Every structure is written in structure tokens, then in C-alpha cells.
Amino acid sequence: PDREVVFYAIGFETTAPSTALTLQRAKKEGIENFSVFCNHVTIVPPVRALLDSPDLRLDAFIGPGHVSTVIGCRPYEFMPADYGKPCVVAGFEPLDLMQSVLMLIRQLDEGRCEVENQYGRAVLWEGNLKALDAMSEVFELRPYFEWRGLGFIAQSALKLSPAYADLDAELRYSTPGVRVADPKACQCGEVLKGVLKPPECKVFGTACTPERPLGALMVSSEGACAAYYNFGRKSFEKVEIGSR
């Protein structure tokens, strides 16, 4: 009780509800030595930013399963409606992903463009209403947030609402706004837009590896570059001339 505890809250809507419920309980129980440094982000604004990019090279989208268990499928309806891009919310098993790709191919082949839910065993169309209610009470949108590889995107992240200002670490400790620029050689933005494949990045596998990542897509084990590095590279056996 005599020490301050600051919870560093990160992640998309997947993890935001647990932070919201924790804050609700802390406020209810009057816990004064606890605060939250909120860096939660939201999925729709960065996707819209990608779709607005003039050099986008993506034909369709596989919707994120974990995020969608919270927000549902409805928030993705802007993708076919505004941009003509189909979307299928997918689960995580190999068969889930294969079926989702098949569903997207069928949409493209049949000239359809809509949002479909392959992960129906876990995702409801309207999402988890209790989780969304908790988030709505505890959080509000930030005017701007800087993304690695994408730059500033309006209303793409969450901060604590005024009702929870007494538990906001940013206010309690007057934290300064710190900007960390992406390395100039990093090309995560181009990879996200489908302009480049990870191995085509200038620093992939050399200056940028999972052990010493430069870009956001190599930091996380779920990032495209980390996946390519660990599972997508082809290794060729070196054979000396005349050895066989």
C-alpha cells in the first residue's frame, strides 16, 4: 500500500476490456496507489489509413479473431461499403485460416464484396456488449496517435475518460509526450500496404532480426516480418562442384 503501482496498458480492443474492468474495480474500492498508463489502440482507423493509401496492393482482408471477439464484425462493414474490399473474420487454427482464404477467393471469383464471419464459434456480429460497455465508460478516443510505420492517425488510440482522471498515470505524473522515429531504413509501412514482401525490405534478416528488431513487424512474434524470418525463408544446401 505504501508503493505506487502503474499498469502499462497496451494492445488493441482485445486487451482493453480487462484494463477497463480493472479500473472500474480500483475506482469502486478506492485504491489510491494504482494508476494506468494507457496505450491501447483501436483497429479500424489504421485499417482505414491503409485503405486510403494510394499505393495499396491488397485485394482483401482477413479480419483479426481476437479483436473481433470484442468488437464483433459490424465495424468492418466500411471496408466493402467504402473501399470495395472483402473481409473475412478468421480463427487461428490452420483450417480456420485456410477456410478464410477460400471464402475470400470465392468472394473475389463471384464478384461479391462483403464481411463474412468464419470464426462464428467465438465471434458475434455485434461483439461482446458487456466488454464494449465497460470500454465506453472508462475510455475515450485520443485526438491523434503515432503509429510505427504509419505515422500519425487521428482517433486511433484510447485514453482514460475524465471520470477516471484520478487513475490516469499521464496526469498523475505529468508524463511528457515522447516521439521515437522509425529507423530510416525500416520499411514496415510498405510491408503493411502489400507494396513489399518482408524479404524485400532493405534490412530484413540483416540489421533487423527477431533478436535485434528495428521495425514493429519484427518485434512481435505475430508480425509479418518475424513470421517470414522464422517460417517463410527457404534454405538451400550448398553443394561444391564435383562433390557429387
If DSSP states are collapsed to H, E and C, what string results for 96-150? HHHHHHHHHHHHHHHCCCCEEECCCCCCCCCCCHHHHHHHHHHEEECCEEEECCC
Residues 203 and 221 in one domain: yes
pLDDT band at 68 (very low <50, low <70, confident <90, very high): very high
Which structural domain range is residue 153 located in?
5-41+128-172
Check which CATH number belongs to the domain holding 57 and give it. 3.40.50.11750
Beta-carbon count within 10 A of 197 CB: 14
Average pLDDT score over residue span 26-44: 97
- What's the mean pLDDT when you consider all of the chain? 92
pLDDT: which is higher, 236 or 25 = 25
Per-residue pLDDT of 186-244, as tens digits, reads 999 899 989 999 999 999 999 999 999 998 899 988 899 999 999 886 553 444 445 44
Domain count, the chain: 3
Q: CA nearest 13: which of 61, 74, 82, 64?
A: 64
pLDDT at 233: 64
Per-residue pLDDT of 113-122, as tens digits, reads 999 999 999 9
Query: Does 197 map to a domain?
Result: yes
Per-residue pLDDT of 82-100, as tens digits, reads 999 999 999 999 999 999 9
Beta-carbon count within 10 A of 96 CB: 19
Query: Does 77 map to a domain?
Result: yes
Per-residue pLDDT of 13-22, as tens digits, reads 999 999 999 9
Query: Does 180 map to a domain?
Result: no
Query: Does 82 map to a domain?
Result: yes
Q: Answer yes or no: is pLDDT of 48 > 60.
A: yes
Residues 66 and 98 in one domain: yes
Query: Does 157 map to a domain?
Result: yes
Query: Does 240 map to a domain?
Result: no
Query: Does 242 map to a domain?
Result: no
pLDDT band at 184 (very low <50, low <70, confident <90, very high): confident
By DSSP bridging, strand 158-160 and strand 139-141 are: antiparallel
pLDDT band at 134 (very low <50, low <70, confident <90, very high): very high
pLDDT band at 131 (very low <50, low <70, confident <90, very high): very high
